[in-house]
Structure 1
């Protein structure tokens, strides 16, 4: 019983760490947007309360959290502010992956030697080429939308290894794709982050040219063989963790808009309403019920899909293609529902929602920026459905 209680306390504390930042994040949201990266007080508090390392294995200063806890923490962060939440689903999974999969020498250099005080961001898509050389790779490439890099000490960069000019293959049809972890000083930033929404995420473009990266500071993108950590997430890989982050983020931003329009409704009067508040209108009441119910259903679907797969892996079962498809579809569906809820809330709020710098206006810009991401695109749903239908046995990128 004592162990169970201790684990419960740890799981609750990760979500609580995020919740405790509400006042600070609200106060700093405009400043983060102005400087196009999370403000220093927010980053400092994430380190002070342990949120920055919360998703790491315990040996890297984390809590080895469950999927449910990660989802609820990210949802809370996105509810507070879209940029804060997006940075959470960039920095935290990046350091989780590096801490879980880096070889021992790389882990010691990046984490242990820095007292686990390591913020990591970047782009895991294989937009670079790494020429295989003695002891590692000569890496060249350019990456866009390096989320969370504005305040990161180490930068992640996905790449394709080239051995004597040829790609390497894990198995038939599955190429070897790698992730390099580089100190910030070795990376050239070219800015590029002038966007409609998610302005405060520090998602800058960057590149490297013929930079040597030792093999011990690289790991396979689709690895499910963690060298550290006790949570099933490490044995499920980066794709489920990233999918959980996108689902939670979209749900969090949409929830902020649903909550705000519900609060506004009692005092919102439109010229055409002849003295009736927004809350008294049956059409608003019906639409509020529909969208809140849809949001709750999407959240439960996400928790069910990820928790079901997590439980199977925890029991020693294989993470099947169908399980991976279930999780990816849940993330796509939750994103679609969240976008619809946000659009309705924005329309229902009327002119209140268009005030520049307001929480409503910022959330609306954020949701329609974040949901452009390829990770929760229509293609992901199609790839997943093909697995369900038996058209293909597997889609390795799910």
Structure 2
């Protein structure tokens, strides 16, 4: 009797299976300025696109370790592919976990869970409340993954009679609206140095009615669906893990590529290969070690918080600060590794179309993101020091 092989449910394995496709289509993604259709289809055909979702939305609810390793793998293959991983996958994860039942049925169930979603969650819009929903207006920049998304996420602040709605003293209500693509106005603003293939378009929404059932709280931690600890930790930790993993993945691609190059690389007027030079050997040892240490820090911070929540504990401000600092630190280390690899490779790293050249542009674009900025580290340190009790944005 022939027994069918079990379906692969580990998202890291699903991502690894796309290596040849991503390599073949990376240049096309850059040319199109959005992810090549063949890669998008490959993500759906493999099951990767929905894999981070709650089970009810076609996902497998991976652990943080699985998410981190998947994102590292995707970014190692190509920076734009990896960025789509930290844009589309968390967007649908959050919507599937936190949308009310009516909204989930409209967005996910009605589309047989084949829902690609991207956008900007920062509350750059306003939504006047009334008639069971919000009249949404706003403009958002860097809507990652919107080039191929059927639904667009848009962060906004609800208003009542034009006044911002407050949850507590000085803390505004912040929500996310899920809007069909045909109700969104896209701007052709994605002309950038790196991450060209991500379709991170600017977009606007003008006086569009969004039913409340297609909105959820930006900082929601009580899932309507999903049993994994991640669904009880909210979008901020998932996003932070994504940024850290993405930077580590791109940096690893550069470290691996320069190590492979070293055996055949000879500098002008130098008869010794790059691999035989002690300065290169020392630099490689240092930066590979730094990369490994940063990866372990990320895994430790996020799995410790995950374990606390799994055991029924609170996601304390300190745990949240630990995760965000790990993400900032890993990004800084990854950037330093990428710079060293770029310099060590010499002219090989400046030829257009090579993985090294593309990765260098990508990492200096992606690490500009506010989510892993100096301000985040300062906020976290202030929690450690007791200067502030909490920072709700962490």
Query: TM class by shorter-chain length?
Result: over 0.9
Residue 172 (structure 1) shift: 2.6
1:249 pairs, out of 246, 251, 255, with 246
User: Please, which of 154, 159, 164 is the counterpart of residue 156 of structure 2?
Assistant: 159
Displacement of 1:205: 0.7
Which SS does the other structure have where 2:190 is aligned?
Answer: coil
Q: Tell me whether 167-176 or 385-394 shows the greater mean CA deviation.
A: 167-176
SS of the residue aligned with 1:210?
strand
Tell me the CA shift for residue 292 of structure 1.
Answer: 0.2
Aligned Cα root-mean-square deviation (Å)? 1.0
In structure 2, how many angstroms separate the alpha carbons of the residues matched to 1:34 and 1:337? 30
The residue aligned with 2:166 is 169
2:3 aligns to what? none
Q: Is 1:121 paired with 2:118? A: yes
Q: Which one of 298, 311, 314 corresponds to residue 294 of structure 2? A: 298
Mapping of 1:186-265 within 5 angstroms? 186-265=183-262
Structure 2 residue 90 is the aligned partner of structure 1 residue 93: yes
Per-residue deviation, 1:191? 1.6
Q: Secondary structure at the match of 1:271?
A: coil
Deviation at 1:66, TM superposition (A): 0.4
Q: Tell me the CA shift for residue 10 of structure 1.
A: 6.3
TM-score (norm 2): 0.98
For residues 293-327 of structure 1, the C-alpha deviation after alignment (integer angstroms, 9 at most, x for no partner) is: 00000000000000000000000000000000000
Aligned-pair CA distance for 1:22: 0.4
| 2-structure distance, mates of 1:71, 1:10 | 18
- Residue 36 of structure 1 pairs with residue 33 of structure 2: yes
In the alignment, the residues of structure 2 paired with residue 279 and residue 347 of structure 1 have an alpha-carbon distance, to the nearest angstrom, of 14
User: Does structure 1 retain, via aligned residues, the 8 Å contact 2:146–2:152?
Assistant: yes
Q: Does the CA contact (< 8 Å) of 2:8 and 2:14 recur in 1?
A: no
User: In structure 2, which of residues 4, 19, 22 is the aligned counterpart of residue 22 of structure 1?
Assistant: 19
Distance 2:73 2:160 in 1: 44
| In 2: Cα distance, 1:39 partner to 1:378 partner | 33
Q: Is residue 55–residue 61 contact of structure 2 (8 Å, CA) maintained in 1?
A: yes
The 8 Å contact of residues 99 and 228 in structure 1, kept in 2 or not, is answered as yes
Correspondent of 1:182 among 179, 182, 190: 179
**Matches of 1:296 and 1:10, distance apart in 2:** 27
Report if the CA contact (8 A) 2:72-2:248 is conserved: yes
Q: What is the deviation of 1:173?
A: 2.9
Contact 2:291 2:333 (C-alpha < 8 Å) held by counterparts: yes
User: Using the alignment, how far apart are the partners of 2:166 and 2:333 within structure 1?
Assistant: 38
Deviations 1:364-385 (A, max 9, x none): 0000000000000000000000
Q: Which runs of 5+ in 1 are unaligned?
A: 1-5
**Could you say what secondary structure the match of 2:362 adopts?**
helix
The total of aligned residue pairs comes to 389
Matched residues in 2 for 1:343 and 1:254: separation? 9
Q: How does 1:242-391 map to 2 (within 5 A)?
A: 242-273=239-270, 275-391=271-387
1:170 Cα shift? 1.7
Question: Secondary structure at the residue paired with 2:147?
Answer: helix
SS in 1 for 2:326: helix
Deviation per residue, 1:203-260 (Å, 9 max, x gap): 0011011100000000000010100001100100000000000000000000000000
Cα pair 1:298 1:333 within 8 Å, conserved? yes
- 8 Å CA contact 1:10, 1:63 repeated in 2: no
Q: Deviations over 1:121-144 (max 9, x none)?
A: 000000001011111000000001
User: Which SS does the other structure have where 1:144 is aligned?
Assistant: strand
Post-superposition shift, 1:168? 1.4
Three-state SS of the structure 1 residue aligned to 2:128 is: strand
Alignment correspondent of 1:3: none
Aligned partner of residue 357 in structure 2, secondary structure = helix
Q: 1:45 aligns with which of 34, 37, 42?
A: 42
Aligned counterpart for 1:60 among listed residues 26, 45, 57? 57
**Distance in 1 between residues matched to 2:275 and 2:252, nearest whole Å:** 18
Q: Distance in 1 between matches of 2:112 and 2:314?
A: 34
**Structure 1 residue 52 displacement after superposition:** 0.2
Which string of whole-angstrom CA distances, capped at 9 and with x for unpartnered residues, describes residues 94-125 of structure 1? Answer: 00000000000000000001000000000000
Q: 3-state SS of the aligned residue for 1:276? A: coil
**Partner Cα separation in structure 2 for residue 133 and residue 192 of structure 1:** 33
Instruction: State which of 75, 82, 86 in structure 2 corresponds to 1:78.
Output: 75
Q: CA deviation at 1:175?
A: 1.4
Misfit runs of 4+, over 4 Å: none
